[in-house]
Amino acid sequence: MLKYKTVRTARSENMSIGERISRLSVLLIVLMLALIGGSLFMLYSAGGGEFGRYVFPQILRIIFGFIIFFIVALSNIKIWIRSTYFFYAAVLILIVSVSLMGHTGGGAQRWLNFGFFTIQPSEFIRIAMVMVLARYFAWMNSGQTMQFKNYIIPTILFLIPFVFIVIQPDLGTAISLAAIIVSMFFVVGANRNWFFIGIIAAILAAPIVWHTVLLDYQKTRIITFMNPGHDSRGAGYQISQAKIAFGSGGITGRGFMQGTQGQNQFLPEKHTDFIWTMVGEEFGFVGALGLLGLFYAILVLLYRMAMSCRSRYSQLLIFGFGINWFVYFFMNISMNMGLIPTVGMPLPLFSFGGSAMLALLLGFGLVQNSWIHRDLQLPAKG
């Protein structure tokens, strides 16, 4: 649980661009670039040595994403505080639009096709939800955060997109969104008894969800997770091939572009959901552990940045994004290792894709913005 802090001194919000640049977390940018650089090497391998297949499109997305990153990071923090609910509403409208005229791919209707580009709005709702929760709770004291009534509005704001995302269906995003809001409620100081009640309610609701909410292919994935070998050529093919590829890498791996499963097209979605497995096959346990270390280093840095902020809003926003970051890489790696059922969850800043990359760089921009304004006295109301 984050502690409440009283801001006794305040830095002027009218900092010059130069001052804001000087207050950026350089270490965070270096760690981000290390991940992105590593991903380009793996995408080159996933594309069979073809630069134009995955690498070039991803570089264009990265450039555009970093333009957004620096614009967001170096702008006035009050712009984002005041536009929080507008941003949430805009993303929600896009999510609803997916249900009405969304583009279908891989058996799911998750994208909006604008002709020259497609976008997956659900990737942005996690950032919007973190912004909403940070703004909503930043000006409450510990007594207010213990009152049940103060959780009704954020719960409603969570449930609306959650329902539409489940309908798409996008179970991975739905689960991650639920994890974010539950974690944020815990951090701001919600009554611990509510969580026990919620766990009991979830257990009781599980049979209902199984029979009325989950689709047949989702049920099959859960059954496959419980018994991976029962259909290794069908529903269990992805995870079976992932385990074979990762295990064949051994301690140091087969070498760059020398993997048998990845290079011979046995490993499905090797450039997106299962790119972690390619790392394990080509660079072994050592390479996979090193990559995991980068994700963990960013997580630790986000936590330290949050705890160093004197602004309650900055604390909550950075901590919320840290939760989002952890859920992202934890679910992807766990899925690759067969520790959870297969869900559509990219490896953050590493998998091929535009929406996830742009959403994450937008989120990192907000983190840097909050860090720059970490000791700023904010108005009594957001």
pLDDT of residue 376: 73
Q: Give the separation between CA 13 and CA 78, rounded to whole angstroms.
A: 9
- Binning pLDDT at 50, 70 and 90, where does residue 5 land? very low
Q: Domain count of the chain? A: 1
378 belongs to a structural domain = no
341 belongs to a structural domain = yes
- At 103 the three-state DSSP class reads strand
3 belongs to a structural domain = no
Q: Tell whether the model's pLDDT for residue 284 goes beyond 80.
A: yes
Mean pLDDT of the 72-86 span: 93
pLDDT of residue 224: 65
33 belongs to a structural domain = yes
Mean pLDDT of the 222-236 span: 61
pLDDT of residue 85: 95
In one-letter notation, the amino acid at residue 365 is G
Tokens at 77, concatenated = 């923090």
Which has more confidence, 129 or 234?
A: 129
- Binning pLDDT at 50, 70 and 90, where does residue 8 land? very low
Mean pLDDT of the 52-70 span: 95
Among 12, 43, 169, 60, smallest CA distance to 104 is for: 169
Q: Tell whether the model's pLDDT for residue 331 goes beyond 80.
A: yes
In one-letter notation, the amino acid at residue 44 is Y
Q: Is 341 left (phi over 0), alpha (psi -120 to 50) or beta?
A: beta
pLDDT of residue 132: 95
Which has more confidence, 295 or 224?
A: 295
Mean pLDDT of the 339-358 span: 87
Among 139, 9, 15, 29, smallest CA distance to 76 is for: 15
CB 257 within 8 A of CB 278: no
118 belongs to a structural domain = yes
Strand partners, 119: 112
CB count within 10 Å of CB 316 equals: 25
* pTM (2 d.p.): 0.89
CB 126 within 8 A of CB 359: yes
Strand partners, 109: 104
Q: How distant is the alpha carbon of residue 81 from its chain centre?
A: 21
238 belongs to a structural domain = yes
Q: Give the separation between CA 206 and CA 58, rounded to whole angstroms.
A: 39
CA dihedral 195, 130, 84, 19 (to 10 degrees): 140
Q: Tell whether the model's pLDDT for residue 7 goes beyond 50.
A: no
Q: Give the separation between CA 305 and CA 314, rounded to whole angstroms.
A: 9
Q: Give the separation between CA 284 and CA 280, rounded to whole angstroms.
A: 4
Give the largest CA-CA distance in the chain. Answer: 63
Q: What is the mean pLDDT of the chain?
A: 85
257 belongs to a structural domain = yes
Which has more confidence, 163 or 202?
A: 163
Q: Which of 45-49, 82-86, 219-223 has the highest mean pLDDT?
A: 82-86
- Binning pLDDT at 50, 70 and 90, where does residue 182 land? very high
Tokens at 357, concatenated = 């990359």
CB count within 10 Å of CB 13 equals: 12
77 belongs to a structural domain = yes
CB 87 within 8 A of CB 132: no
Look up the domain containing 184 and give its range: 17-372
